[in-house]
Amino acid sequence: MNVESFKTAVILAGGKSSRMGFDKQFLRINEVRIMEKLIHELSKEFEDIIIVTNKPEEYKTAENGIRIISDEIKDIGPLSGIYGGLKESKSKYVYFIACDMPNVNLKYIKYIKKVLTNSKANACVAKRESKFEPFNAFYSVDILPKIEKLITLNKRSIAGLIDIIEPLFIEENVLKKYDYSFDMFMNLNSKEDLEIYKEQSKK
């Protein structure tokens, strides 16, 4: 496996967090910021970690080796974060996860790396019940021109991006081998989600 192909991971932290009521990039579980947990886990598999945030001033004391960037193009949602992360990448493939996804599955990440090493796909995303999971996924820097085209056309959905690239889809039966309950795709979108997750974390 070529390490240079998989050096960079990106944590997207630029959402509006309207349902949560406060900025999700500062979420804490048992006094530990989820962002710190993500960095700690991802550092085991990636040499280069980028945080894409709308509040870069909050990261002045970021750990060594963590790069902080802001959306180059504002108000187009997560597509802008993917665009910025790919532009700053130090590798061909970039792993993307959102700041409100607390469960990093390193075994699954290692599996995807092997899959992409033996593939010419320009992305690898999971597919459940005919719907794809845009994060906990890898995208190639080769898709940058296609993202630029979407932005030019004022098309901002990630679904639109998936439609015009050629991703490798990981189907549900394979996903279950790595995470039967699909916790690695969990999003903490609301205070209710957060409370449920806190209770599960105590078990």
| Binding-site entries | 12-14, 24, 71, 100
CA distances from 87 to 8, 55, 75, 189 (A): 11, 19, 18, 27
Residue 44 one-letter amino acid: K
Which helix (H) or strand (E) covers residue 32, if one does? strand 32-33
* Binding-site sequence positions for Mg(2+): 100
3-state secondary structure of 89: coil
**Distant-in-sequence, close-in-space partners of 100: CB < 8 Å, separation ≥ 6:** 15, 20, 24, 27, 34, 187, 188, 189
Phi-psi region of 182 (alpha: psi -120 to 50; beta: other; left: phi over 0): left
As a whole number of angstroms, the distance between CA 64 and CA 67 comes to 8
* Binding-site sequence positions for GTP: 12-14, 24, 71, 100
Which helix (H) or strand (E) covers residue 8, if one does? strand 8-13
CB 95 within 8 A of CB 46: yes
Phi, psi at residue 187, to the nearest 5°? -115, 135
